[in-house]
Chains A and B, each alone.
Chain A
Amino acid sequence: MKKKFNIKDILFPTIALFLIAGVCTFILALTNSLTTGKILENAEKTKIETRKMVCPTADSFSEDKTVTVDSQQYTYNEALSQTGEIIGYVFTASDKGYGGAVTVMTGMDVDGKITGVQTIEINETAGLGMNAKKESFRGQYKGKTGPFTVSKDATTDTQIKALSGATITSNALTNAVNKTVEIYNHIKGGDNNG
């Protein structure tokens, strides 16, 4: 079984593997430099498109601003009209759902009325909790002022009809939206005091 140690047996495969790896790395670096710009552009585009979805009347959005509520830091953007006036806000918050964090983006006008809700990150059960992505659920928040509660059959304006078979997801999404309402109140409160 014992083989004689032969330098050629080790050197040649090593060099061959090294060369293959080198060429591959070069190709990857090339593709990377060609695609990074596009990937970043995509991410930026999706971000702005989502903001537009939750705040359709806005013309543009301010730079990221931060606010601390209950010792947690949140990033938000102001929605600006064509003339640069603040006509609303876009907030992001998350809460724990069935399969991990549920993150939502909420748009509000200056009076705190919700103009739209979009799910940013959601990993719930397909066919049940995932239905929270549908307009039929998300649309329930639109045009209303929070905070909201979840119930079986929504009768008042602040009640949200739970998804059938996915109460935890409904709660998580609603809690996340309520957090954005809290952030809004905090900002507004701050404005009044200042």
Chain B
Amino acid sequence: MKVYLSIILAAILTNNFVLSKFLGICPFLGVSKQTKTASGMGIAVTFVMLLSTMVTYPINKYLLEGLGLEYLQTIVFILVIAALVQLVEIALKKYMPPLYNALGIYLPLITTNCAVLGVVVLNVEEGYSFGHSVANSFGAGVGFLLAMVMFSGVRERMESSDIPEKLKGLPIALVAASLTSMSFLGFTGIVEGMLG
């Protein structure tokens, strides 16, 4: 149990995908103007991460590794993710329109989100078991959601501040991201400290 907790906490706080691994920067900058859309995107990414991990783990373990085809990992993973995202989108649209309106609209953007492929590849690289992989993906997703929501809050406030002309728009957003990421640096080592 402790192992799972430490994997999840490490993925959320110390190895935050956005703020320390720089994965998923495009949606982080692109879909963070309002807290509502930011949280929608975050939840959708978490969901796709979990689903992709659950599907790619057996494929990698039994099909690719079993047949000695590890070199096809990248191509298989990205295709599985792309197909999965499409399927989820179609299913949501047809059977759960309210949920589709809340989350489904972000799905096409997720296919090329490097955070999803990143978490799948990292799980394989770390040699995690199925349970550990799922825990890591969950943590990564929640970490992404946390970073998105925090950052969108900062940006909503920035709208009304007096910003130097040359820094308006993207530059000041990146400076804000820099400060947000600095606050996450403070978490380094905390998980080991908490769980021994």
B-side contacts of A98, CB under 8 Å:
188-189, 192
Contacts of A185 in B (CB 8 A): none
Chain B nearest Cβ from A130, distance in angstroms: 13
A residues in contact with B72, CB < 8 Å:
25, 28
Does residue A24 face the partner (Cβ distance < 8 Å to B)? yes
Given contacts A28-B72, A98-B188, 4 further A-B contacts (CB under 8 A): A25-B72, A28-B71, A98-B189, A168-B189
| Residues in B whose Cβ lies below 8 Å from that of A28 | 71-72, 75
Query: Which of B56-76 touch A at CB < 8 Å?
Result: 71-72, 75
Q: Which chain A residues (158-187) contact chain B, with CB distance < 8 Å?
A: 168
Minimum CB–CB distance from B165 to chain A (whole Å) comes to 34
A interface, over-half SS: helix
In the complex, whether A142 has a CB less than 8 A from a CB of chain B is no
A24 to B15, CA, bound (A): 34
Q: Closest residue of chain A to B74, judged by CB?
A: A28
Contact indicator A24/B188 (Cβ below 8 Å): no
Q: Is the interface of B mostly helix, strand, loop or mixed?
A: helix
Q: How many A-B residue pairs have CB under 8 A?
A: 19
| Total contacting residues, chain A, CB less than 8 A | 11
A133 at the interface (CB under 8 A from B): no
Residues of B within 8 A of A24 (CB): 75
> Considering only CB atoms, which chain A residue lies closest to B79 in the complex?
A21
A191 to chain B, nearest CB (A): 34
A31 to B75 alpha-carbon distance, docked (Å): 14
Q: Is the CB–CB distance between B192 and A96 below 8 Å?
A: yes
Q: A residues bordering B, Cβ < 8 Å?
A: 24-25, 28-29, 31-32, 96, 98-99, 125, 168
Q: For the complex, is B14 an interface residue (Cβ under 8 Å from A)?
A: yes
CB of A29 to closest CB in B, whole Å? 8
> Nearest chain-B residue to A24 (Cβ)?
B75
Of all chain A residues, which has the CB nearest B193?
A168
Task: Provide the residues of chain A in CB contact with B192, threshold 8 Å.
Answer: 96, 98, 168
What A residues does B188 contact at CB under 8 A? 98-99, 125
A99 and B75 in contact, given A125-B188, A168-B189 (Cβ under 8 angstroms): no
Nearest-neighbour CB distance to chain B for A179, whole angstroms, equals 17
Contact B14 A99 (CB under 8 A): yes
With a CB–CB cut-off of 8 A, which chain A residues contact B15?
99
CA distance A168 to B191 in the complex (A): 13
Which residues from B are CB-within-8-Å of A25? Answer: 72, 75
